[in-house]
């Protein structure tokens, strides 16, 4: 968790922003405008309201309100299974990456 942000809920996201969120392990889920307005009104009435995003059920809840959210299945799967840190996964498998790279001509001394 960075900066205290654990998830972001919006109507839409730029592709690069969405990808960056996933790379940081921050779910970026989408909701309809009317659902977002309902959620915002709840938070405005009580600014200490906590919002819970459930990636398994694809919902966001605050007090007595639950709204549906969407998230690309690949991103959802990576976040739910803890496989969102692609760089960390590569670094932890450095020996396998090096071994595989030796079999790729343009990496292992390809000559034209």
The residue to which tokens 């996933």 are assigned? 22
Q: Tell me the helices (H) and strands (E) count for the chain, helix number first.
A: 5, 5
Task: Decide: 60 and 53 in contact? Cβ < 8 Å.
Answer: yes
Give tens-digit pLDDT for 64-112: 999 999 999 999 999 999 888 778 888 888 888 888 888 888 777 656 5
pLDDT of residue 112: 53
Domain assignment present for 110? no
CA-to-CA distance for 107 and 111, rounded, in angstroms? 10
CA–CA distance from 105 to each of 86, 99, 112 (Å)? 24, 13, 10
Q: Domain limits at 75?
A: 8-84
Least confident of 6-10, 26-30, 94-98: 94-98
- If 0-12 CB within 10 Å is exposed, 13-18 middle and 19+ buried, where does residue 85 land? middle
Task: Kindly report the average pLDDT of the chain as a whole number.
Answer: 90
Domain assignment present for 44? yes
CATH number at residue 69: 3.20.19.10
Per the structure, the count of domains in the chain is: 1
Domain assignment present for 54? yes
Q: Is pLDDT larger for residue 105 or for residue 57? A: 57
């Amino acid at each position: 968790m960075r900066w205290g942000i654990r998830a972001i809920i919006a109507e839409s996201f730029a592709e690069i922003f969405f990808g960056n969120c996933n790379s940081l392990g921050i779910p970026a889920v989408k909701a309809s405008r009317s659902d977002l307005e309902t959620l915002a009104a709840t938070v405005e009435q009580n600014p200490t309201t906590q919002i819970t995003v459930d990636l398994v059920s694809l919902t966001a809840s605050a007090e007595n309100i639950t709204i549906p959210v969407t998230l690309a299945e690949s991103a959802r799967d990576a976040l739910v299974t803890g496989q969102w840190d692609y760089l960390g996964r590569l670094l932890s498998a450095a020996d396998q990456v090096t071994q595989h790279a030796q079999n790729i001509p343009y990496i292992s001394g390809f000559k034209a």
